[in-house]
Chains A and B, each alone.
Chain A
Amino acid sequence: MATFNLKVNGKSKTVNVDNDTPLLWVLRDELNLLGTKYGCGIAQCGACTVHVDGVAIRSCSVPASNIADSEITTIEGLAKEKLHPVQEAWKELDVPQCGYCQAGQIMTATSFLKQNPSPNNEDIRNAMNGNLCRCASYNRIEKAVALAAKKMS
């Protein structure tokens, strides 16, 4: 067990966990931030995607000890006063079916649009390919990312 200071969604948090505890379980079980989802545990599905210093990472495969002192943003911290344009686009296009993977999809999309603010369809497809959606809401995710890019431009 070790003590780590994390900065999550702008707030400082202290957690006492084993060195190898993935960030995912620190967020969910220690900090009660349940929006970040477990899907596969091996960085294959993207359900657990969060931002570390603005970059999308798979929180299931990154030990919390590796990212102490970094700035972590989870789905709960994405909307400030109002919804993030990506969330707005998700809502406008009625993207989710079961909804379970969508936090990860949204976190991947927001990070991607920061790097590439005016993507074409192929860029979007490449960027979102790592996030599984078992309900296959892929058509709408693709459209929502394009719509969000438009909203943000």
Chain B
Amino acid sequence: MKNQNKVAFSRRNFIKTSALASGGLLIGFNFFTACKEAAQPPVDISKLNFNDFNAFIKIADNGYVTIFSPNPEIGQGVKTSMPMIIAEELDVPWEHVSVQQGVLDTENFQRQVAGGSQSIRFGWDALRQTGATAKQMLVNAAAAKWGVDASTCKASNGIITNNNGDTLGYGDVVSEAALLEVPENVTLKSPKDYKIIGKDAINVDMEAIITGKPLFGLDYTSEGMKYVSVARPPAFGQKIDSFDATEAKAVNGVIDVVQFGDKVAVLASNTWAAMKGKKALKVNWTNDNDLENTSDHDHELNKILNSNKLDVRREDGNVKKAFAEADKVLEHTYESPFLPHNCMEPMNFYANVTDDKVHLVGPIQTPAGTARRIANLINRNEDDIHLEMTRMGGGFGRRLYGDFALEAAEISNITKQPVKVIFSREDDMAAGIYRPAIKYRIKASIKDGKVTGYHLKEAAINSNMYGLIPNFFPAGAIENYKVETGNYRSKITTGAWRAPYTNFLAFAEQSFFDELAKELEIDPVRLRLDLLSNVEEGKDPSIEYSAKRMTDTINLAVEKSNWGKSRDGIYQGFAAYYSHNTHVAEVVDISMKNGNPMVEKVTVAVDCGIVVNPTGAKNQIEGGVIDGIGHAMYGDFSFENGQPQDVNFNTYRLIRMKETPIVETHFVENELSPTGLGEPGLPPAGGALSNAIKAATGQVLTKQPFINEFNKRKTDLSA
């Protein structure tokens, strides 16, 4: 493991400074790339140019610090945790720091993307270096003022001191510091000296959130803005044939109705009129006879699992031989439905396309790519595009896709009006980009009481597990190991959904390991630990997880959950999973009430390296675990004739407070570089739950959502 104190960075290359005309120091920095030779931070704070820099820090002449935080905030807490890292190394009191969302994005903005739980992991080095460099510049300026050697000076909590007992505030030397060379070799703090990292910092937007300030895309308005509701083909595969807007136009407040592509936009003076206008539209959609049903997907995915024409994604040893020589072969098939993201804030975007520029505002996880696509779509120069990110009412992967922003831009381009496209909940749930339906078939061979072979087949809609997943556990732990994937191209659109693929793969594998443990007559946790002990750390560099870190994480979960110590009416299930560079182990405690499982408690152990902001970190784990439990238990989404059967919360069931377990989170303590937390808590939850249900009822669950099994059983009993 790399020591977080020794990172080779050339400071001069990625940090540049300027003296602000209004007083103070402005530092521009880039996360991965060097700054362009000619790039300079502006002297006017209103002219921040994110084309040249990923992010900026302003140190005002009162010593207060404003960080223009680069990454989009979707509820994962980076708007709080990333500035904490800068503030730590800069060594200013956290109360003196304020944070503003960086406005835009460009090609150069390498990682202005919220996704993959990677913001903190990638930002860690650059954020610390930038903070430490700024601090050194302030120290150098103070030393010059005093005429002493900078190495005899110290800075802490925004105050610089020297050996003579003199003190200067950061604000006292900021104008001088702004004129200095950017120093090359700065020392980073040792984790034991951290004052901000590792301490709870409440969400920087807290006051605004709890008092109802307009923060979100849906809250954005501008002079003359039209509210837009869009009619889209109701079934995947359908196209528009014709439409009649007479009644829509008669709705009070409706201003215009325009077709674009296979969609029809209703522009109105308020949201209600736009929604009513859309309902009053008469659209004839094409009548297709090849629209898809869930039963078709079922059939196609089974066909893939039964075929021998899958892509081999990883193969160690000889699986075929292992199965041929086995004493026993175990096989199970696991199934999951499509899932909509259901961000609480429905998709929406503002666009104002004028001859001068294209102004876009809204909640988007991928600002750079979306701006580029919009430039292509409406045939504009990328330099014309100005995109402002708002806070996002949830993302879960859905806002990686800019379809709603493209719609807004296209409508504004046609109508030459400032517009805001607003999805109703029904629009949002029916518009696609779902988690794909997936089936896994897992087969393992046992010989002389040992697991000798493991073969996993993935059949998924539209695309398959991404590159590194085949190298996750149990790769490296079982001698003969094979992962194969195949997909069926559907008209139903799919995309990333919190912890893509692993959100279901972990359930399949972790349930399967419990079956293996039963077969081997050993404790399920023991099975995982035994398998992990087969992995020689570092021997195979392609292996993604650390067997040691996973073992420590499992042991912590076992200790904190009272694993295996029976209590009346409580049944436990275990799962452990590595994803997004973080190791997580979970123990689910359930009880049975009226034949239904009640999830009482989930004990979680997490190794994410250094925990930057414990309250935020726990929030992510609590949310991820409950999200995983909720969707494994209730998430159901099917299609008839290309149309989703549920489009609002009256029939589509999300977990609610009464079904929610208490989540207790424990972190493995170490000084390793931090990794992300937005996703890794979710994948193990479904498996730990199914294993607990099995412990309670003996029933092996292979199909999500689990609630269908219980409802079915009740129907059978009453029949």
Chain A interfacial positions (CB closer than 8 Å to B): 1, 17-18, 20-22, 25, 28-30, 32-42, 44-45, 47, 74-76, 78-79, 83, 87, 90-91, 94, 96-103, 106, 125-126, 128-142
Report chain A residues within 8 Å CB of B616: 94
A30–B627 alpha-carbon span in the complex (Å): 35
Can you show 23 pairs from A to B with CB atoms below 8 A apart? A1-B252, A20-B272, A21-B270, A25-B271, A34-B221, A40-B648, A44-B650, A74-B212, A76-B212, A94-B200, A99-B75, A99-B205, A99-B209, A100-B343, A103-B212, A130-B656, A133-B344, A134-B343, A135-B394, A136-B627, A138-B655, A138-B656, A138-B657
The reply to whether A100 and B210 contact each other, CB–CB distance below 8 Å, is no
A25–B202 alpha-carbon span in the complex (Å): 31
Tell which of A100, A131, A133, A141 has the most Cβ of chain B within 10 Å: A100
Report chain A residues within 8 Å CB of B212: 33-36, 74-76, 78, 103
The reply to whether B391 and A99 contact each other, CB–CB distance below 8 Å, is yes
Report chain B residues within 8 Å CB of A28: 271
Report chain A residues within 8 Å CB of B211: 35, 75-76, 78-79, 83, 87
A106–B393 alpha-carbon span in the complex (Å): 16
The reply to whether B202 and A91 contact each other, CB–CB distance below 8 Å, is yes
Report chain B residues within 8 Å CB of A34: 212, 214, 218-219, 221
What residue in chain B is nearest A40 (Cβ atoms)?
Answer: B425
The reply to whether B657 and A125 contact each other, CB–CB distance below 8 Å, is yes
The reply to whether B396 and A138 contact each other, CB–CB distance below 8 Å, is no
The reply to whether B425 and A97 contact each other, CB–CB distance below 8 Å, is no
Give which listed residue, A45, A102, A106, contacts B649 with CB less than 8 A.
Answer: A45
18 new A-B contacts, CB < 8 A, other than A41-B426, A134-B394, A136-B626, are A32-B221, A33-B212, A37-B393, A38-B422, A39-B345, A39-B346, A42-B425, A42-B650, A87-B211, A96-B209, A98-B395, A99-B75, A102-B209, A126-B658, A132-B649, A135-B394, A137-B623, A142-B657
What residue in chain B is nearest A99 (Cβ atoms)?
Answer: B209
B322 to chain A, nearest CB (A): 41
The reply to whether A100 and B272 contact each other, CB–CB distance below 8 Å, is no
Give which listed residue, B207, B227, B424, B619, contacts A137 with CB less than 8 A.
Answer: B619
What residue in chain B is nearest A142 (Cβ atoms)?
Answer: B657
What residue in chain A is nearest B201 (Cβ atoms)?
Answer: A94
A-side interface mostly: loop
**Contact A136/B391 with A1-B252, A40-B425, A44-B648 known, Cβ cut-off 8 Å:** no
A132 to chain B, nearest CB (A): 6
A129–B655 alpha-carbon span in the complex (Å): 9
The reply to whether B202 and A94 contact each other, CB–CB distance below 8 Å, is yes
B453 at the interface (CB under 8 A from A): no
A19–B209 alpha-carbon span in the complex (Å): 31
A34–B393 alpha-carbon span in the complex (Å): 14
The reply to whether B622 and A39 contact each other, CB–CB distance below 8 Å, is no
Which 10 pairs across A and B sit closest by C-beta, in order of nearness? A35-B212, A98-B75, A100-B393, A75-B212, A136-B626, A99-B209, A44-B649, A97-B75, A34-B214, A34-B219
B93 at the interface (CB under 8 A from A): no
B336 to chain A, nearest CB (A): 19
Report chain B residues within 8 Å CB of A130: 656
The reply to whether B345 and A100 contact each other, CB–CB distance below 8 Å, is yes
Q: List B residues 289-348 near A (Cβ within 8 Å).
A: 342-346
Q: List B residues 136-195 near A (Cβ within 8 Å).
A: none
B597 at the interface (CB under 8 A from A): no
Report chain A residues within 8 Å CB of B203: 94, 96, 99
Give which listed residue, A25, A37, A106, A133, contacts B345 with CB less than 8 A.
Answer: A37
B709 to chain A, nearest CB (A): 22
B169 to chain A, nearest CB (A): 29
The reply to whether B216 and A83 contact each other, CB–CB distance below 8 Å, is no
The reply to whether B206 and A94 contact each other, CB–CB distance below 8 Å, is yes
Give which listed residue, B209, B270, B630, contacts A30 with CB less than 8 A.
Answer: B270
The reply to whether A137 and B622 contact each other, CB–CB distance below 8 Å, is yes
Report chain B residues within 8 Å CB of A140: 619, 622
The reply to whether A29 and B271 contact each other, CB–CB distance below 8 Å, is yes
**Contact A29/B393 with A96-B203, A134-B654 known, Cβ cut-off 8 Å:** no
B213 at the interface (CB under 8 A from A): yes
The reply to whether B344 and A22 contact each other, CB–CB distance below 8 Å, is no
Give which listed residue, B75, B271, B272, B650, contacts A135 with CB less than 8 A.
Answer: B75
The reply to whether A25 and B272 contact each other, CB–CB distance below 8 Å, is yes
A44–B647 alpha-carbon span in the complex (Å): 12
**Contact A132/B656 with A97-B619, A99-B75 known, Cβ cut-off 8 Å:** yes
Report chain A residues within 8 Å CB of B622: 136-137, 139-140
B234 at the interface (CB under 8 A from A): no
Report chain A residues within 8 Å CB of B619: 94, 97, 137, 140
The reply to whether A96 and B658 contact each other, CB–CB distance below 8 Å, is no
Report chain B residues within 8 Å CB of A142: 657, 660
B602 to chain A, nearest CB (A): 10
Give which listed residue, B75, B200, B205, B270, contacts A25 with CB less than 8 A.
Answer: B270
B598 to chain A, nearest CB (A): 12
Give which listed residue, B200, B209, B272, contacts A21 with CB less than 8 A.
Answer: B272
Report chain A residues within 8 Å CB of B227: 29
The reply to whether A139 and B660 contact each other, CB–CB distance below 8 Å, is yes
Report chain A residues within 8 Å CB of B346: 38-39
The reply to whether B615 and A94 contact each other, CB–CB distance below 8 Å, is yes
A42–B654 alpha-carbon span in the complex (Å): 15
A142–B75 alpha-carbon span in the complex (Å): 19
Report chain A residues within 8 Å CB of B202: 91, 94
